[in-house]
């Protein structure tokens, strides 16, 4: 695997989030907060979880080397997985693109040597983890895809047809 793959995934992530967020923008406050039978009970809870996870992954990635993309006061704070952010969807929609741009900037700084280096970080349970950098990167992008799939299902339950899964038009056109 080469560093270019992660740049492609970051661009896909940004594009698919833009498409997904266009659907989210059309939700009422009631739909944004409506509870379903999933582990994350609402679109709001899923979006909050995705944001917190992505934020925490970006902070962890800073343990590999000094990434310019992470030299931002945004990362001076901590976010807990127990938090549910964004009472309204507009706040989420305003903040989400910032993280997506950070992923694009970060992946532009990754070189082929970096992906085989060992990243040491503390996971959400407090355990020390050591992995080749490519593994947490793949995990993070896969995690995003997994939860976007859940959001897609919730949108269908709300009667909102949607399809924001295609990678080809987002990165190859």
CA distance 106 to 6: 9
pLDDT band at 128 (very low <50, low <70, confident <90, very high): very high
User: Where residue 136 sits, what CATH number does that domain have?
Assistant: 1.20.120.450
Return phi, psi of residue 81, to 5°.
Answer: -70, -15
Structure tokens at 62: 């800073």
pLDDT band at 163 (very low <50, low <70, confident <90, very high): confident
78 Cβ contact partners less than 8 Å away, ≥ 6 residues apart: none
CA distance 88 to 31: 11
pLDDT of residue 172: 64
CB 98 within 8 A of CB 74: yes
CA distance 171 to 151: 22
Which runs of E-coded beta strand occur in 90-171?
118-122, 128-132
Q: Structural domain tally of the chain?
A: 1
pLDDT digits (tens, 9 = 90+) for 96-119: 999 999 999 999 999 999 999 999
CB 88 within 8 A of CB 28: no
**pTM (predicted TM-score):** 0.92
pLDDT of residue 73: 94
pLDDT digits (tens, 9 = 90+) for 56-75: 999 999 999 999 999 999 99
Q: Domain span at residue 133? A: 3-171
170 Cβ contact partners less than 8 Å away, ≥ 6 residues apart: 11, 12, 15, 16, 19
Looking from the CA of 134 toward its CB, the CA atoms found within 13 Å total 12
Mean pLDDT, the chain, whole residue set: 92
Neighbours of 154 (CB within 10 A): 24
pLDDT digits (tens, 9 = 90+) for 10-46: 999 999 999 999 999 999 999 999 999 999 999 999 9
State in Å, rounded, how far the first CA of the chain is from the last one: 22
């Amino acid at each position: 695997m080469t560093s270019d793959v992660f740049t492609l995934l970051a661009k896909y992530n940004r594009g698919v989030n833009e498409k997904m967020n266009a659907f989210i923008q059309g939700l009422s406050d009631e739909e944004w907060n409506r509870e379903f039978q999933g582990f994350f009970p609402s679109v709001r809870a899923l979006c909050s979880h995705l944001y917190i996870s992505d934020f925490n992954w970006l902070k962890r990635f800073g343990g590999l080397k000094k990434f310019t993309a992470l030299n931002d006061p945004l990362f001076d704070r901590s976010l807990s997985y127990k938090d549910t952010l964004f009472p309204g969807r507009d706040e989420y929609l305003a903040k989400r693109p910032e993280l997506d741009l950070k992923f694009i900037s970060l992946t532009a700084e990754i070189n082929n040597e970096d992906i085989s280096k060992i990243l040491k970080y503390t996971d959400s349970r407090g355990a020390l983890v050591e992995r080749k950098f490519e593994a947490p990167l793949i995990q993070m992008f896969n995690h995003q895809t997994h939860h976007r799939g859940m959001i897609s299902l919730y949108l269908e339950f709300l009667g909102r047809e949607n399809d924001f899964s295609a990678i080809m038009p987002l990165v190859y056109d």
